Structure 1
Amino acid sequence: MFRLAAAVLAAILLPGAALAHATQRAVLNTLPTTPYVLAAGVAVAVSALFVAIAPRIPAPGSMVLLSRPVVPRDIGSWCSAAVFALLIAVGFLGDRDPYGNLLTLTVWVVLWVALTLAVAILGNLWRGLDPWTGPVRAVRRALGRTGGIGLARLGHWPAVAGYMAFAWFEIVSLAPADPAVLARTALVYWIAVFVLAVAEGEDWIEQGEFLTVYFGFVSKIAPLWADRGEGRLTFRLGWPGAQIVAMAPLTLSQAAFVTAVLASVSFDGLHETFWWLARIGINPLDVPGRSAVVGVNTAGLFLTWAVMSALIAAAIRAELALSGPSAPAFAAAAGPYVLSFLPIATGYHVAHYLVALLTSGQYVLVALNDPFHLEWALLGLPEHWVGFGFLTQHDSVRLIWQAHWAIILSAHLLAVLLAAHIARKTGVHTRRIAQLPVAALMVLYTVFGLWLLSSPAAG
């Protein structure tokens, strides 16, 4: 059953990653993954039914842990800018091996994988680390500039464009892991954001720079976070998703950003599967280089985004139709509803890159242990200690798969709870049956996400 459901969704989505994803597929394909997928789908369906008939859904709350004065963001930003400059130099002048170059490892492992996981747990750590705010503020002060050029009117669309360009660079472009290519691309992007922020103001970074927007959204599911106000930083501990319930409805550009995150990481998993390769006429056992599939994978990436956006919009419209004449308009309901898909996007991102963190993360430690290949041992690590043997062992691969399953299931259960709470808060659910369309979509994506993680894949 789960294979049929996954195939249906995959058919709807019809038209290598940065560091090659180390894989445990050979062993994973021997495990009984079908019961796990079916159990997850049933669990999400049952939870959706329960919250639909429950007379009351407790709102996720939080408690204050401590409060202290705000530390100026410029300090961390200037430090990050200095580290960025050093990494760019390493990218141009250092080892051309992606697994030995700190720039490549920092971008694709530390930033994109490890920091996402940290932000999902500990809150928006990126807020004090972005490499633009400090330099932009200093230059604007030196120039005596106080106004803008109207970029704020574009909302989050610049961040959407930046994120999709980044996703294309990671998934489709020819050499995203080449240190020199990555250094050149990162430098051009930094300069572009810097110039635009100097022209518009440093506050624009929060809505126009894709990494800042991305980590801002991911942090909303964290059980630990910090609120800023009146010159103080208040640390809170609460249920995951408590911040999402308190958020204002998303604008169209913000909703587009959330669906872009969900679609890009889904296509990142889909484009490596034997199923996708067969659809585009490629032998999974004889996969050509990236140049042979640039066009079709570009189309697949953007088509996946379009289809997922359409599915979410269709589910919301169906829910409004079932809610009766008193339901709010689509524009008023879509903004709050898309918020509930944040845990799904983040959960699949973490699960998708878990193996990369366990494998490529070892090379980060190697690079830190001897960053200039001078036979140093700054961390006290011996030579040749990196090992992937755990990916060939039945017990360890089963543990990884169970972690995938737990992450995906937890994210979808949280999404179901948030969707029901947001719907009641906004007055969508006047009839209990109205929750079914969005719930069905979440069940289908639970199955689809686990199918992606367990399906035979190349690369």
Structure 2
Amino acid sequence: MARIALAAGLVVAGAGAALAHATEGGLVLLLPTDVYTAAGAAAVALTVVLMAVLPERVASWLFTPLTLVPLPLTRLPQITSMLVALVFLSLVWTGLSGPRDPMENPLTLGIWTGFWIILVTVQGLAFDIWRWVNPWLGPAAMLRGLGVRQMLPLPVRLGYAPAILTFLAFAAFLMADPAPADPERLARFGGLYWLLNLVAVLVFGPRWLGRGEGITLLMRSYARMSIMTRRAGRLALGLSGWQVLRTRVPRGGWAGFMLVILACGSFDGVNETFWWLNVLGLNPLEFPGRSAVVWQNLAGLLAANVLLVAIFAATIKAGLLLNQSPLKLREAVRLFAPTILPIALGYHIAHYYSAFLVEGQYLWVMIEGLVGIPHEGPGHAHHITTGFFNTTDSMRRIWLTQAGAVVLGHVTAVILAHAVALRVFGTARRALLSQAPLALFMIAYTFFGLWLLASPRGL
């Protein structure tokens, strides 16, 4: 029971922020956020100090899962996947023929709020929901049942490069397209993305979804942070991150992809700030529109990825040198890249929390309409409000919730990285030496993440 209570209390450490939302907003947060930022970074720093004296058996115990009820395999996900694919195609049609208002079109709310904010969070915090809603599994299985067979093997030498490229294409649409929330533009991009990847699955086989399709690999990565999974035929429950220690070390390309997740999530916050607009030489109070910064945002997205990968590799290399370890850099990156997933997920949740508070209401109203509850009159069950943005107290609670997700994500990352280091290097002293540069990186990234949350936004 103590382990379950601890897991429940710290599960938020796997939390994150979403990467896309239906509406853009400009919000200047007039709170004493410098105090909160310093306190958050101090909490991460104290966690690093705690790791220095934490016995190995305690670190191991923290990430030991509980084995619960039997959980048999089922083919039901193929059926639910087919249903989700049909729903997605109907949403694409609605995007092409329905209302142009993103807050009234089911496609925009379904993709950016239902999928990108809600499902990604559930995937990282709770369980592998993507296995049930992947829109390619069902259609591919149906076509194979009709006699369609794999045409070509997926070249091994490509590794995970196709998944990185397709995910970057998705991120580029989100961050650089002039109007990613426009239902028609979203329908054309989403429909084409789905169709091309379905064709790729038919040509290269199911392996494409694991190595070539970026959204699926993103969800597989975040599944390693979920607290529940099927293990040895039974339901297993543990502290967020426990699966990282009990699954195979990712291949080099997959480890690189995990760094891309964090880099894209970070730039998704940076490209909305006054600071970024100032770098581009634009007055945020006279913003000319997203169409004026398409190429600049594309360049910034690529630069953010290159910079983060380089910094992470440098911190890992510095730790190996301090520890005088014979471990090769490539192998060390593979080992420690999964430990940054709590940071990416934590910022994902924090970044989109305010968007969820508003757009989640619109999504709920849309669902009410689908089940026959009227939007107006005596039977109306929900009133959309943004009043929580109008008072200092409510804004303080919102920001503290966001900051808590970021800080807990970093704390989990520090503990998880220390547990991995103990397993690799054997002693607490060697583990601490190897983790010192990475710990400094995580503390600095805490400051960065909290600064992003508090920075004025101009888009």
Q: Same fold (TM over 0.5)?
A: yes
Q: Alpha-carbon deviation of 1:178?
A: 1.2
Q: Could you tell me how far apart the structure 1 residues matched to 2:279 and 2:135 are?
A: 42
Q: Does 1:439 align with 2:443?
A: no
Q: Does 1:186 align with 2:184?
A: no
Partner of 2:72: 69
Q: Does 1:20 align with 2:56?
A: no
Which one-letter code corresponds to 1:195 in the other structure? V
SS in 2 for 1:235: strand
Partner of 1:9: none
SS in 2 for 1:175: coil
- Cα 1:151–1:368 change in 2 (3 A) is farther
Is residue 102–residue 371 contact of structure 1 (8 Å, CA) maintained in 2? no
Is residue 37–residue 447 contact of structure 1 (8 Å, CA) maintained in 2? yes
Question: Which of the numbers 132, 140, 150 marks the counterpart of 2:154?
Answer: 150
Is residue 327–residue 430 contact of structure 1 (8 Å, CA) maintained in 2? no
Which one-letter code corresponds to 1:189 in the other structure? Y
Partner of 1:58: 59
Within 5 Å, give how 1:284-303 maps onto structure 2. 284-303=284-303
Question: Which of the numbers 207, 215, 239 marks the counterpart of 2:211?
Answer: 207
SS in 1 for 2:285: coil
Within 5 Å, give how 1:117-196 maps onto structure 2. 117-143=121-147, 145=149, 148-151=152-155, 153-196=157-200
Q: Does 1:220 align with 2:220?
A: no
Q: Alpha-carbon deviation of 1:244?
A: 0.9
Within 5 Å, give how 1:409-448 maps onto structure 2. 409-427=407-425, 430=430, 432-448=432-448
Q: Does 1:400 align with 2:398?
A: yes
Q: What's the RMSD between the two structures over aligned residues?
A: 2.3
Partner of 1:368: 367
Within 5 Å, give how 1:239-278 maps onto structure 2. 239-278=239-278
Which one-letter code corresponds to 1:422 in the other structure? V
Partner of 1:4: none
- TM-score, with structure 2 as normaliser: 0.89
Question: Which of the numbers 102, 106, 109 marks the counterpart of 2:106?
Answer: 102
Alignment gaps of 5+ in structure 1: 1-15
Is residue 320–residue 434 contact of structure 2 (8 Å, CA) maintained in 1? yes
Question: Which of the numbers 83, 98, 107 marks the counterpart of 1:79?
Answer: 83
Q: Could you tell me how far apart the structure 2 residues matched to 1:380 and 1:130 are?
A: 38
Which one-letter code corresponds to 1:258 in the other structure? M
Percent pairwise identity: 35
Q: Could you tell me how far apart the structure 1 residues matched to 2:227 and 2:197 are?
A: 31
SS in 2 for 1:182: helix
Is residue 150–residue 202 contact of structure 2 (8 Å, CA) maintained in 1? no
- Cα 1:21–1:226 change in 2 (3 A) is farther
- Cα 1:20–1:430 change in 2 (3 A) is same
- Cα 1:17–1:214 change in 2 (3 A) is closer
SS in 1 for 2:224: helix
SS in 2 for 1:239: coil
CA distances 1:240-293 after superposition (whole Å, capped 9, x unpaired): 110011122222211221111111111111111111111110111111111111
Which one-letter code corresponds to 1:408 in the other structure? V
Instruction: State which drifts further: 363-372 or 441-450.
Output: 363-372
Q: Could you tell me how far apart the structure 2 residues matched to 1:122 and 1:180 are?
A: 33
Instruction: State which drifts further: 350-359 or 81-90.
Output: 81-90
- Cα 1:164–1:377 change in 2 (3 A) is same
Q: Does 1:390 align with 2:388?
A: yes
Is residue 18–residue 171 contact of structure 1 (8 Å, CA) maintained in 2? no
- Cα 1:53–1:180 change in 2 (3 A) is same
Which one-letter code corresponds to 2:70 in the other structure? S
Which one-letter code corresponds to 1:457 in the other structure? R
Q: Could you tell me how far apart the structure 1 residues matched to 2:155 and 2:172 are?
A: 24
Q: Alpha-carbon deviation of 1:157?
A: 1.7
- Cα 1:38–1:396 change in 2 (3 A) is same
Alignment gaps of 5+ in structure 2: 1-18
Q: Alpha-carbon deviation of 1:164?
A: 0.7
Query: How many residues end up aligned between the 2 structures?
Result: 435
Is residue 23–residue 102 contact of structure 2 (8 Å, CA) maintained in 1? no
Within 5 Å, give how 1:25-40 maps onto structure 2. 25-26=27-28, 28-29=29-30, 31-40=31-40
Q: Could you tell me how far apart the structure 2 residues matched to 1:379 and 1:51 are?
A: 58
